Amino acid sequence: MQNKKAQVWVETVIYTLIAFVLIGAVLAFVKPKLDEFQDKSIIEQTLTAVEDINNIINSLVQGGSGNKRLLELTINKGILNINGESDELIFEIESRYLYSEPGNDITIGSAKIKTEKKGKFNLVTTNMSYSQKYDITYDKKNINKLLNKAATPYKIAISNDGKNNDGKTKIDFTVI
């Protein structure tokens, strides 16, 4: 009689272990795919945000000197570089998702996107270059400003500060 009770407990433990192994195996395959889909979504949201910034810049230029707009920007993953030295906006994200063929630039709207293979991850870079038209600054200085992932959205003021000595329109970014 006692042998049957022991057998029930052994079977229960074995079935429980088998269930844990199966759950672990499923998670080992499903989690990377979920991360990949999440990264794809973040990249697509980033492209939308970059296009929104581009539309704001264009409306500021049309509105004339002294025009200003506020933007709330959420960065869930990656880094936004406001590059005042080369007059570019660059967003980089390390992702499991392969957005485009590695090494080749693609253009979507006014953004250039490049994917580079980095081990088991991919570095997806979205670049908006304004060097031909505008003088991009951060806090009225030609410096780089990195905006990293944050729990709360960034509040960014974008303003048209008139023309510089080269005749380019000065577009200034400031985090409020």
* Measured distance CA(24)–CA(38) in Å, rounded: 21
| Total residue count of the chain as it appears in this document | 176
pLDDT in tens, 36-68: 899 899 888 888 888 899 999 999 998 888 899
pLDDT at 77 over 60: yes
Q: Per-residue pLDDT averaged across 90-118, rounded?
A: 89
* Predicted structure pTM score: 0.78
* Measured distance CA(118)–CA(109) in Å, rounded: 26
* Measured distance CA(169)–CA(42) in Å, rounded: 31
Residue 147 has a CB neighbour count (10 Å cut-off) of 18
Which pLDDT belongs to residue 3?
67
What pLDDT band is residue 128 in, cutting at 50, 70 and 90? very high
CA 87 from chain centre, in angstroms, equals: 19
Q: Per-residue pLDDT averaged across 162-170, rounded?
A: 88
pLDDT in tens, 105-127: 898 888 899 999 988 899 999 99
- The domains of the chain are located at 2-175
Amino acid identity, residue 160? Answer: N
